[in-house]
């Protein structure tokens, strides 16, 4: 079970819930204060994470376990063991569902958010990794790494909308505020952009070596480059690189603050999170985490009560 090792969070500021694969834990970070305020024990090498109001969902591939935690305490309120290779996760708040990708069996599990009951499966291409739900709730997207494609589903009726070829080895992906889908291709060192109707590719742009995750702030895309220890900053209108910023070693998960002013980057090999000012494009803070932070998913709490 997840146990808070220090006092439970009481701040009204932004909180980040960072899964630490090597450390079997979650670091709860107060981003405004720049401190770790709690640490949970989460067995099974957690990687995937989705924060939804007062709940945090974690995916632990080694134990094949998906857990629902109370954000305020880390207490496990539901869990399920899934036979396969659970890794990526995204939450559908409007419909009360959780989606988890199965790396080994080319599918997405559909779970009930409350008790994590298994509701059904969706078929994907080989080795689905990252999952994302569009802001309007219309589309669910899966990065099918070994198929070099994205599978896109109608999130309302869970039917396949389209499969679209992207670059080599897509892994992380995220919908931009305008509805376009940005897909980080770790094999071809670029990002594929799919139009808002999810019908065709509209752009591809180069980034650093082994791009992993994508986040957005102030009209810019921020892409973590694992092997380069950098974050590429790209104008989402022109697809031109504005800057290449240093991060910690082996950056992976990336997310945006609630005020759209900061980008938060999890550095797997440095046991830290880097906070970047999205306006000035400068590093403003480093926060220590538990061992091996991956934070694969949306890990910043956007409506903490």
The closest of 16, 7, 50 to 34, measured between CA atoms, is 16
Of 144, 49, 139, 147, whose CA–CA distance to 90 is shortest? 49
Q: Please, what is the average pLDDT of the chain?
A: 95
Kindly tell me if the per-residue pLDDT of 10 is higher than 50. Answer: no
pLDDT at 162: 98
Residues 6+ apart with CB under 8 A from 231: 222, 223, 224, 225, 244, 245, 246, 247, 251, 254, 263, 265, 274, 276
State pLDDT tens for residues 88-135: 999 999 999 999 999 999 999 999 999 999 999 999 999 999 999 999
Is the predicted pLDDT of residue 177 greater than 70, yes or no? Answer: yes
Are 140 and 133 spatial neighbours (Cβ–Cβ below 8 Å)?
yes
**Dist. CA 177–CA 220, nearest whole Å:** 10
> pLDDT of 40-83, one tens digit each?
999 999 999 999 989 999 999 999 999 999 999 999 999 999 99
CB contact at 8 A, 243 and 218: no
Asked whether 222 and 232 are in contact (CB, 8 A), the reply is yes
CA dist., res. 115 & res. 132, Å (int) = 21
Q: What's the pLDDT at 303?
A: 59
Residue 19 counted as domain residue: yes
Which pLDDT score, from 0 to 100, does residue 7 have? 37
Model confidence band, residue 302 (pLDDT cutoffs 50, 70, 90): confident
Q: Is residue 1 part of a domain?
A: no
Pairing between β-strand 107-112 and β-strand 118-123 as defined by DSSP bridges: antiparallel
Whether residue 8 is predicted with pLDDT greater than 70 in this model: the reply is no
pLDDT attached to residue 24? 98
Give domain status of residue 2, yes or no. no
Task: Find the domain containing 40 and state its range.
Answer: 15-298
On whether residue 9 sits in a domain, the answer given is: no
* pLDDT, tens digit, 9 for 90 and up, residues 204-244: 999 999 999 999 999 999 999 999 999 999 999 999 999 99
| Separation CA 295–CA 132 (nearest Å) | 14
Classify residue 6: in a domain, yes or no.
no
Q: For residue 91, what is the domain's CATH number?
A: 2.130.10.10
pLDDT of residue 13: 73
How are strands ordered across the β-sheet holding 86-92? Answer: 86-92, 97-102, 107-112, 118-123
Average pLDDT over residues 13-23: 95
Q: What is the pTM of this model?
A: 0.95
What percent of the chain is predicted at pLDDT more than 90?
A: 94
Weakest mean pLDDT among 83-87, 142-146, 261-265, 301-305: 301-305
Q: How many domains does the chain have?
A: 1
């Amino acid at each position: 079970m997840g146990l808070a090792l220090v006092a439970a969070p009481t701040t009204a500021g932004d909180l980040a819930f960072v899964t630490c694969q090597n450390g079997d834990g979650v670091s709860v970070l107060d981003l405004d204060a720049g401190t770790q305020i709690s640490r949970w024990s989460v067995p099974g090498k957690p990687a995937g994470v989705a924060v939804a109001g007062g709940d945090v969902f974690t995916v632990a591939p080694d134990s094949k376990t998906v857990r629902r935690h109370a954000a305020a305490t880390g207490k496990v309120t539901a869990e399920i063991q899934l036979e396969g290779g659970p890794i990526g996760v995204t939450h559908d708040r409007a419909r009360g569902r959780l989606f988890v990708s199965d790396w080994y069996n080319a599918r997405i599990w559909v779970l009930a958010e409350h008790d994590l009951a298994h509701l059904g499966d969706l078929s994907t291409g080989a080795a689905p990794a990252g999952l994302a739900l569009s802001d309007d709730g219309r589309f669910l997207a899966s990065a099918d790494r070994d198929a070099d494609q994205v599978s896109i589903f109608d999130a309302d009726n869970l039917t396949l909308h389209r499969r679209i070829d992207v670059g080599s080895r897509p892994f992380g992906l995220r919908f931009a505020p305008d509805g376009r889908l940005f897909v980080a291709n770790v094999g071809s060192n670029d990002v594929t952009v799919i139009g808002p109707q999810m019908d065709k590719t509209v752009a591809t742009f180069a980034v650093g070596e082994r791009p992993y995750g994508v986040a957005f702030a102030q009209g810019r895309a921020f892409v973590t480059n694992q092997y380069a220890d950098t974050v590429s900053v790209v104008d989402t209108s022109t697809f031109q690189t504005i800057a290449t910023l240093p991060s910690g070693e082996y950056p992976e998960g990336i997310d945006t603050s609630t005020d759209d002013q900061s980008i938060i980057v999890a550095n797997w090999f440095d046991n830290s999170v880097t906070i970047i000012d999205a306006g000035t494009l400068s590093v403003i803070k480093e926060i220590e985490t538990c061992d091996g932070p991956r934070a694969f998913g949306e890990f910043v709490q956007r409506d903490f009560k």
